[in-house]
Structure 1
Amino acid sequence: MAMPLDNKGNNTLYRWRWAGKTLKGRVVRGELIASNKAEAEKTLHNQHIIIRQLARKRFTRGMGRVNSRDIMLFSRQVATLIRAGVPILQALQVVAQTQKKPVMNKLIQDVMHDISAGASVTQALKRHPKYFDPLFCHLVAAGEQSGTLDTMLERIATYQESNESIKRKVKKALVYPTAVIAVGIGVSALLLINVVPQFEALFNGFDAELPAMTRATIMLSEFVQAWWQWAAAAMLITITVCIQAIRRSPSIAFRVHQFALRLPILGSLLNKSAVARYARTLATTFSAGVPLVDALTSAAGATGNRVYEKAVISTRDDVSGGLPLHIAMRMSGQFPPLVIQMVGIGEEAGALDAMLDRVAEYYEDEVSTVVDNLTTLLEPFILVLLGGMVGFLVISMYLPVFELGGAM
């Protein structure tokens, strides 16, 4: 029976709550994911369960969304089961039954179907490039060839945890000041639109000239009241156009990333995070037996920055031409001297993967330090900025009142 399709052509899955008995008469109950009642009944019959109740849960429509954390947990769970001696198909079935997201359950079921049809694990994963990138597939292929699939999946999970940790730290450094400033602008706009006009009506009854600060605030309030919708729309359109331009134009994205790397403080954070992700990715793939040129290809996409991506691709081309890695990195002109020196030592000692791991650990610690320092430095600055914005508006409104009271 074909699965029903949603408006986008995707299979629509639902969560079903069931209750029944085993063949020995034991009462059992639980939940499962299926596209329709017949499929849910078939799944339970295959588990030798006599169904007493089967009902679709409410508010479960939709496929959900697979994120990097879902893939990381999937890798670790499958690795644990394989290490315990569970065959790959059975391990995937167990992991699928634990999924709360219908889309993740469907993804695993599709992988199981491909493997059952004769595909290797790597081939099955490559059919879903949206969720399993080339780095993931490279490592799984190395694990299949060497008989260490569990180790490779565990290594993937560890790598993804480190990568997500770096991303969270960078986001923390960017989101906090942005959110606080946005709140400050919102409060100021609220005062200008709703509060200042009340004071303006009061001041119209004064037979005196208003202070310059108050007049400026009233003029600003009148401007905001007349144009705030257009200003908000223009800001939204500008942000949308910029985002789309960055996504669709590699040259614009490169220039934006290049500009971001040159910003004070923030640029240092982005540089260190890109180097950390490059080193961690290269160490993970190279130690798994992936050829260095292929490992560099994976590392280029993992840096998260177009400038470093271009530098890594240039490094890869030079390495494929016969140059040592550290010399190729120096010729790209992007990597710090410390990284180049440590890579050179690793190549000479035959321990490149271990040295790259040390580089990654060092720069991950540097990212943590920069984020902590940035937060510490920004907090008083933001407080002063917000206090100044709101304080200016409040003082400018009460200043005529104080002057009037002094005159009386």
Structure 2
Amino acid sequence: MPQYLYSAMDGNGKEQKGKINADSEEMAAVELKSKGLFPTSIKPAVLTSKKKAANRTGKKKGGGSLMNVSLGAAVIKRKDLTVVTRQLAILLSAGLPLIRSLHTLEKQARNPAVKQVLGKTAETVEGGATFAEALAQHPKSFDKLYLNMVRAGEASGAMEIILDRLASFMEKAARISGKVKSAMIYPTVVLSIAILAIVGLMIFIVPNFQKIFKELLGPDEPLPDITLLVMGISNTLVSDWYFYIGGIAAIVALYQVIVHIPIGKWGVDWVKYNMPLFGPIIAKTAISRFSRTLGTLMSSGVPVLNALAIVKETSGNEVVASAIQKVHDAVKEGEGIAVPLSETKIFPEMVISMVEVGEETGKLPEMLDKIANTYEEEVDNAVSALTSMIEPLMIVALAVIVGTIVIALFLPLTKIIEKLS
């Protein structure tokens, strides 16, 4: 009967290594699970010289070194990572060893980046590194949230459960982000077309009317103030177009500089968080993300201080991040989460009350999950309401602008008609 070398986690999260006799790798995995062990690696005890050389190469290249990050490395997109995580959870729950699961997904992958990252990860694990250490060599594909949940899965010996929970988290995050982005596509496209149309009118149509007015009314004939205003704007667009382009470029450059300065990034996020129409959606999305991420990490066994630190880094908003940092510091001093959370003044009372109940009952992760579900629904409703509100507002704004231009051009025409009559 073939002999296999295995690495596995016991119920206490300790790594166990040894040899086992079994007919196949699958049977070895089943036997290890029957003994209360969760296999992370199973491979034949007798390796060919080629495979030994590959293992030695893997160890030399950094089987576990977190600093071995190659420049220009392949990056797995978030959508593909969600699918890979779900498939890996299914394969592990079916009893396949981790390395074989990675190689199986590598063979099935059609995306070159996914194939390359999974192949390198499998080689690193074969070289003796843990799964989390192997993933850490691809920081652009796997963020700190992902790595810490994988570490929690390795420590608890329930990797398939953690990966399934992680896949669900990413699916829900992608769904809520996709809804917000899709809701903004229509008004953005309409607004862009409207701006181009108005600029076209001011550059190509208004100057022609200006010539007509001079020819038929004469250069000394006074024009209405609104007509003079529209023509003045048109003249500056035609003659000083480089000034407008330079101004737009300067604004964009200034924005890029500001968002890379901590205080500037905080100020921009504060404006986003408190701006009308879009502010409530941004706030509700941030609360949903905070609750979902913290609840997922805590239910996966990540300590609360580590979980708060990860939530801060993945919040995507400096206002929320600074608030979470205050909560982290208070919890580090021995306080609960609810009181410092209320002192930040950015979380609604309902969220504070639910967190407080969760702490009192010892079911904080479940309560955070309920908060996330509630606010995801509110984001859906707010996005729908915003979309229905933006359309009439844009129509009115465009009607006012175009109407002003038409009136400005029509008033001199009445004088021309009177003069001709």
TM range (shorter): 0.7 to 0.9
| Shift of residue 99, structure 1, vs aligned partner | 3.1
User: Which stretch has the larger CA shift, 379-388 or 389-398?
Assistant: 389-398
Aligned counterpart, 2:17: none
| Shift of residue 279, structure 1, vs aligned partner | 0.4
Aligned counterpart, 1:277: 289
Aligned counterpart, 1:242: 255
Correspondence list, 1:8-407, <5 A: 66-172=76-182, 174-207=184-217, 209=221, 210-246=223-259, 248-405=260-417
| Shift of residue 331, structure 1, vs aligned partner | 3.2
| Shift of residue 174, structure 1, vs aligned partner | 4.8
TM-score (norm 1): 0.79
Unaligned runs of 5+ in 2: 1-71
> Aligned pair in 2 of structure 1 residues 63, 74: CA closer, same or farther (>3 Å)?
same
| Shift of residue 127, structure 1, vs aligned partner | 1.6
Measured on the aligned residues, the alpha-carbon RMSD in Å equals 2.1
Q: In the TM superposition, what whole-angstrom CA distance separates every residue of 1:76-132 from its partner, at most 9, and x where no partner exists?
A: 121122223332222222322333432232222221121111111111111222221
Equivalent position SS for 2:215: coil
- The whole-number CA distance in structure 1 between the counterparts of 2:280 and 2:183 is 12
> Aligned pair in 2 of structure 1 residues 63, 211: CA closer, same or farther (>3 Å)?
farther
- The whole-number CA distance in structure 1 between the counterparts of 2:348 and 2:168 is 25
Runs of 4+ in 1 over 4 A off after TM superposition: 62-65, 172-176
> Aligned pair in 2 of structure 1 residues 347, 227: CA closer, same or farther (>3 Å)?
same
Q: In the TM superposition, what whole-angstrom CA distance separates every residue of 1:173-222 from its partner, at most 9, and x where no partner exists?
A: 55544443332222111111112222222223213634433332222111
> Aligned pair in 2 of structure 1 residues 119, 63: CA closer, same or farther (>3 Å)?
closer
Q: In the TM superposition, what whole-angstrom CA distance separates every residue of 1:347-370 from its partner, at most 9, and x where no partner exists?
A: 111111111111111111111111
Aligned counterpart, 1:56: none
- The whole-number CA distance in structure 1 between the counterparts of 2:148 and 2:82 is 16
Q: In the TM superposition, what whole-angstrom CA distance separates every residue of 1:301-334 from its partner, at most 9, and x where no partner exists?
A: 2322111111111111211211112123223333
Which amino acid is 2:202 matched to? Answer: L
| Shift of residue 63, structure 1, vs aligned partner | 8.1
Equivalent position SS for 2:335: coil
Aligned 8 A contact 1:283 1:352 in 2: yes
User: Which stretch has the larger CA shift, 338-347 or 389-398?
Assistant: 389-398
- The whole-number CA distance in structure 1 between the counterparts of 2:217 and 2:342 is 74
Unaligned runs of 5+ in 1: 1-61
> Aligned pair in 2 of structure 1 residues 101, 397: CA closer, same or farther (>3 Å)?
farther
| Shift of residue 403, structure 1, vs aligned partner | 4.5
Which amino acid is 2:374 matched to? Answer: Y
Which amino acid is 2:138 matched to? Answer: H
Aligned counterpart, 1:23: none
For these two proteins, the number of residue pairs brought into alignment is 346
> Aligned pair in 2 of structure 1 residues 114, 226: CA closer, same or farther (>3 Å)?
same
User: Which stretch has the larger CA shift, 199-208 or 284-293?
Assistant: 199-208
User: Which stretch has the larger CA shift, 391-400 or 367-376?
Assistant: 391-400
Aligned 8 A contact 1:63 1:102 in 2: no
Which amino acid is 2:361 matched to? Answer: A
Q: In the TM superposition, what whole-angstrom CA distance separates every residue of 1:255-310 from its partner, at most 9, and x where no partner exists?
A: 11112222123222221111110000011000011111111111112322111111
- The whole-number CA distance in structure 2 between the counterparts of 1:216 and 1:166 is 45
Aligned 8 A contact 2:273 2:282 in 1: yes
Q: In the TM superposition, what whole-angstrom CA distance separates every residue of 1:119-163 from its partner, at most 9, and x where no partner exists?
A: 111111112222211211111122222232122111111111222
- The whole-number CA distance in structure 1 between the counterparts of 2:74 and 2:237 is 40
Which amino acid is 1:265 matched to? Answer: L
User: Which stretch has the larger CA shift, 372-381 or 196-205?
Assistant: 196-205
Aligned 8 A contact 1:192 1:220 in 2: yes
> Aligned pair in 2 of structure 1 residues 232, 99: CA closer, same or farther (>3 Å)?
farther
> Aligned pair in 2 of structure 1 residues 167, 244: CA closer, same or farther (>3 Å)?
farther
Which amino acid is 2:247 matched to? Answer: A
